Structure 1
C-alpha cells in the first residue's frame, strides 16, 4: 500500500523558500508570478491494511509540524 502526505505551511505563516522562488522566477523573466508557497510530499510505502487513522497519527507525531503546517493524505 502506498500513500503520499502533502505538507504545506498554513496560510499566514511566512514562507521564505517560496518567496525566494518567486523572486528568482521574476529575475529569470517569468512575469506575473505574484506568490509561491513551497511544500513537500512524503511518499510512504506501507504494509497493506494500514489505516488512514494510523497515517494521520504518523503525521501528527512526526511528518508535519501541525502548529505551522497543514497536511493532506493521498492513498494510492
Structure 2
C-alpha cells in the first residue's frame, strides 16, 4: 500500500518561505499570486500492511512522531493500493 502525506503550516503560523515565493512570483510578473503558503509532500510504501484502517493508523503514528510537528503543522493522509 502507498501513502501520500501532505504537511502544511497551520493557519496563523508565519510562513517565511511562502512569503519569499510570493515576492519572487511578483518579481517575475505574476502579481496575481497572493497569500502563498508552502508545504511538503511525503510519499512512502507500507510493506506488509493490507488493511486500510491499520495503514492509516500507522501513518498517523509516523506523522505524530516524526513527519509533522503537530504544534505548528497540519497533515492529511491519502492511501492507495
Contact 2:18 2:37 in 1 (8 A): yes
1:63 is the counterpart of 2:79:
no
In the aligned structure 2, how far is the partner of 1:34 from the partner of 1:42?
25
In the aligned structure 2, how far is the partner of 1:51 from the partner of 1:40?
20
Unaligned runs of 5+ in 2: none
What is the number of residues matched between the two proteins?
Answer: 76
1:22 is the counterpart of 2:19:
no
**Deviations 1:14-59 (CA, angstroms, capped at 9, x unpaired):** 0000000000000000121121000000001111325211111000
The root-mean-square deviation of aligned C-alpha atoms, in Å, is 0.9
Contact 2:46 2:55 in 1 (8 A): no
Unaligned runs of 5+ in 1: none
Runs of 4+ in 1 over 3 A off after TM superposition: none
**TM-score of the pair, normalised by structure 1:** 0.94
Q: Which residue of the partner structure matches residue 32 of structure 1?
A: 32
Which segment drifts farther, 30-39 or 62-71? 30-39
**TM-score of the pair, normalised by structure 2:** 0.89
